[in-house]
Chains A and B, each alone.
Chain A
Amino acid sequence: MMSLIQKVSISEAVKKQYFYKLKAYQGMFSTMIIFQLIGLFFSFQGEFVSTSHNNIAVTTNVYAADLIVAFNILWVFTMAIYLTNKASKNMMFTFVTDKRTNHLANLLFIITMSVIGGMTATLLGYVVRLAVIGYFGLEHILFFDPITLIGLLTSIATAVLYSLFVAIIGYTFGELVQLHKIFMFIVPVTILGYFITGINLFDEPSLITFFFFESNFSLFAIKIILTSALLFLIATQFGRNLEVRRP
């Protein structure tokens, strides 16, 4: 008699689950487009900078893709939390799986979201710039920051890394909430409290300056990757013993 039990390697299981998630959550990418388009429309307003001297006032609308990247980060954060909810976890019980392979498949999916999101958000910024030049005409563009290919790649990589970092934070938060609902309130209040009390007027070293003020790209990438790895490891430890499908 042939055995019905097949031994599946971890990598095989992770791969299967990852492709399953890609199919199951493909709607997330439509949501990404909507989030980015909202960012796009806000970006058309630009940052408003004004200065005056005696009778003369000069205003400048400065355009960039910062808001699109911000909306993209909001999207990955939301989607990463979504990956940890009860429905998403129960869905994976159709597979012969354990928590470890599920977490690894989720990590791959988060990386995919971050790469696609970070790349498209940055590239959408060039649609904004082209539209601004087309709408107002080149003669009304006062300042223009040129971009090199290296600059573009750095910009994309940074957007991807920020997306990944925030997505992992969202994923960890989601896992924590699954442990106990009280964390749904404790974590945001703690983070908000940190930001309020930690207003940093003099650029003193803090968690914010540690990441956002790092001017060396390699160091920045190492910091983000290591911190994300640490957070992900913590996330995998939550509810480790909850192996049973919850109703």
Chain B
Amino acid sequence: MNAVFLLAFILMIFLVVLARGIHKLLSRKLKWRILIVYVSVLVLATGAYFMLQPRFITQNNVVEKPFIPDVLKQSNGGEIPQKYEVTSWEIALENQSLFLDTAAKFDGVDFEEPTDLYVESDVYIPVLVKQGEVEKAHVTVYETPTTLKGIDISDHVAISTVDVTGNHVIVTPTPHSTTNFHSIRNDVTLYQFSDRRSMLGIHYDLDIGEVGLVITVPKGTKVEADSEYFDIIE
């Protein structure tokens, strides 16, 4: 896009330099015709835009979502709605113990390297641990959508993922990512008289999705997790 823009800009400068020559070249009639064609094209384009507009509007569906740590910390171990469930596993535990790790630590990488400063701050996962009359451990992963000003952008933004290996539940931190979007807003000539300033301040409203775990383990199972990265709620 930048290359196209640059080329177009050079072309425009070229046109401006030639503007005087163009005026001389064009006959009076032709100048009026150009103006009439220009206005007609603009009117047609605006008409087309108005006709297509209903298709564009359906894009904006504002999402309401729960705050996972708050739900899990409710006195009765509140339930997260089913729609936020991503996946679940049944794990046969060895030695009646379950480990919660972050991928970097699990791989033996020092997680407190300065370069991983942001990765570190990203991982803090609430985990509700229930002990029950079950034979296997049951791990359920919940995830809320990432939103920008209330719009779900989860399909475009990757957050922490959870996997299971043996009796280790491993959380892979959110990878570094930059996502580009495009937005269309009304002109300031209209904003002046409008209360609806939807595009203003969109940079304040990035809400990253949260990952939460609900783990049910057989009675007497020891759940080990680094309190720096996991918030165990029992």
Contacts and interface: CB of A to CB of B under 8 A. Distances in A.
B151 interface: yes
Contacts, number: 234
A140 B181 contact: yes
B48 interface: yes
A143 interface: yes
Contacts of A42: 9
Interface in B46-72: 46, 48-50, 52-53, 55-57, 59-60
Contacts of A50: 203
B48 A212 contact: no
A56 B177 CA distance: 5
Interface in A12-61: 23, 26-27, 29-31, 33-34, 37-38, 41-42, 44-46, 49-61
Contacts of A122: 187, 189
Interface of A is mostly: helix
Interface string B39-50: 101110110111
A147 interface: yes
A122 to B, nearest CB: 7
Interface residues of B, number: 75
Interface string B17-47: 0010011001010011011001101110110
A158 interface: yes
Interface string B157-199: 1010000000000000111111111111111111011101011
Contacts of A124: 42
A55 B118 contact: yes
B196 to A, nearest CB: 8
A38 B185 contact: no
13 contacts: A30-B26, A41-B9, A46-B182, A51-B202, A52-B206, A54-B122, A62-B199, A63-B184, A64-B184, A64-B188, A65-B187, A116-B39, A145-B199
